A and B are shown apart, each in its own frame.
Chain A
Amino acid sequence: MTQLASGYALEVVNLTKAFGGLTVTQNISLAMRPGERRLIIGPNGAGKTTLFNQISGDMRPNSGEIRLFGTDVTQFTPYRRAHFGLSRTYQIITLFTGDTLEHNVTLGLLGLRPSRWQMWRPLSHYGDLATEARRTLDTVGLLHLAQHPVSEIAYGEKRRVELAMALAQKPRVLLLDEPLAGLSDTERAQVKSLIASIPRETTVIMIEHDMDTALDLAETVTLLNYGRVIVDGERNAVIADERTREVYLGT
């Protein structure tokens, strides 16, 4: 096992992805220590979500490498990466709308267990799964809605279910794609404290536009523009950097 040989939780090396003539990520390299909190910023179309999609395996890069705890996972399917400790949330809410919140979170738990192949025992007999799903829903403050279908709950609550599904998996690396998008101020504060309470065993990498909230959560920041890494480093250094002001914070 070459695990942790490099000492990094997540490494991205010279990642390049092009759609026809349009290069969306160009030679992106990142390295994250275990437990690190990183914020990815950049204007629309900077390649942030495309970077996430490559890390999670939804898209294959044209060249470059992705390593999780020292293991090259570039050729791994998304579900293999999930079993390797990678979870993600989606910018566009991707939930099972007809099912209850409890069922949604249960699927998150089931995905990593061998019992997902069980064809005889009804899912409702897995009391431990239900209990754990409800516990996770409790941590995101949605226990009272556990038996409601996702289609009946409010947008801000759906965002928290997104988070709950990923958190239930107790990931080693967690990708959060705009977890605060479209939330009210109160909801923002709730989700912020939720993200802040994620245990340190989990390495968190987050795309977010709401700088006021997100910067508090981040230790390191990476600025992308036109598919390239412009600035990368400690939070305060990146904020102070002239290029950051130019590309993003400007006026």
Chain B
Amino acid sequence: MKWIAAAPLAALLLLLPFFAGDFYINLASQILIAAVFALSLNLLVGYGGMTSLGHASYLGVAAYISAQLTSRYGFGHGPAAIISICGTTVMAAFFGIIALRATGLGFLMITLALSQVLWGLAYRMSGVTNGDNGIAGLTRPMPFGISLESPASFYWFALIVAVFAFVMMAIFVSSAFGSSLRGVRDQPRRMAALGFNPWMIRWITFIYAGFWGGVSGLLYVYYNKYIHPTSLSTTSSAEALLGVIAGGSGTLGGPAVGAALVLLLKNYASAYIERWNMLLGLVFLFIVLVMPTGIVPGVSKLMTALRRGSQ
């Protein structure tokens, strides 16, 4: 049943560039990037119970490393991508050691503080990051010699990466390790008594989430061909967190739906209303009141209720 329901969605995603205009194709690419980012944050928030307000660090740092290497040091996109992902992952390992000294609010504050440090550095170290001007004039990679300059070709590229990321994260959460992670989220003390090492489980997850955050950062900088310190800002982290919670944290589809919602509101509403943040706030409030667990769990509950009612 589930697969039959997924087929039209898969067809829609795959064939979108054939019937949609450039504006919508680009919007869809942005949604895919935001979805990968939100999915990686969801590993922490939804499956690990670690609410982070600094996840933009991984997106931003991967983007900056790639931008630096390709524009200043003349690296090809392949090596630059590998180095930036490795660098971001190592940074996640280091940040994890610091942030996982605490749980709950303490953890949130440490992740926030660390990302603020990076954001500040991106602004101030103008010799490296070009400060408030950002780094412009970047190029997109050409995997197997295929140009990604057209909206459609970039969209398919982003789609392949996003689907791969989704599958990898789905495997991760349904694995034995994923069960350990959910167990540590729900009953850390019991898990330790059963022989699990809660700290190590959280740390590995933190690193893995940082890795996929870095992947979304690469997509982000390829898409925009430009990088600015705002990509490291708290707003950027908070938007993703909002998407995760609105869509349904701890579900696989939720963060993608949430990320799409945030981006659609941002793009559509901002054309009509200057204070689109206010509208986002209202929508978020509505979701929290009507479906406290998020859109995806809320809607599926509604569907079950309707099905039962119709029988």
Contact = CB atoms under 8 A, between A and B. Distances in A.
Contacts of A123: 174-176, 178-179
Interface string B189-209: 111111111100000000000
Contact of B195 (A83, A106, A115): A83
Interface in B178-226: 178-180, 182-183, 186-187, 189-198
Contact of B193 (A56, A115, A121): A56
Contact of B177 (A78, A117, A126): A117
B186 A107 contact: no
B44 to A, nearest CB: 16
B171 interface: yes
Nearest to B187: A94
B193 A116 contact: no
A108 B174 contact: no
Interface string A83-97: 100011010001111
| Most central of B183, B189, B193 by chain A CB within 10 Å | B193
A116 B178 CA distance: 9
Interface residues of A, number: 37
Nearest to A90: B190
Contacts of A223: none
Interface string A66-95: 000000000001110011000110100011
B175 A58 contact: no
Q: How large is the interface on B (under 10, 10 to 19, 20 to 34, 35 or more residues)?
A: 20 to 34
B193 A110 contact: no
A96 B180 CA distance: 11
Contacts, number: 94
B4 to A, nearest CB: 21
B156 interface: no
B157 interface: no
A140 interface: no
Q: Which of B179, B186, B197 has the most CB of A within 10 A?
A: B179
A224 to B, nearest CB: 22
Interface in A47-79: 56-58, 77-79
Given A96-B183, A107-B183, A118 B176 contact: yes
A116 B180 CA distance: 7
A121 B194 contact: no
A112 B180 CA distance: 12
A78 B179 contact: no
A119 B179 contact: no
Given A90-B190, A107-B183, A82 B174 contact: no
A41 interface: no
B176 A116 contact: yes
Contacts of A108: 194
A96 B186 contact: yes
Given A122-B171, A123-B178, A124-B174, A95 B187 contact: yes
Interface of A: 56-58, 77-79, 82-83, 87-88, 90, 94-99, 103, 106-108, 110-112, 115-124, 126, 165, 169
29 contacts: A56-B193, A57-B193, A58-B189, A58-B192, A78-B192, A79-B194, A79-B195, A79-B196, A82-B193, A82-B195, A88-B193, A94-B187, A95-B190, A96-B183, A96-B190, A107-B180, A107-B191, A110-B179, A111-B191, A115-B176, A118-B175, A118-B176, A119-B172, A119-B175, A119-B176, A123-B175, A123-B179, A126-B176, A165-B194
Interface of B: 171-172, 174-180, 182-183, 186-187, 189-198
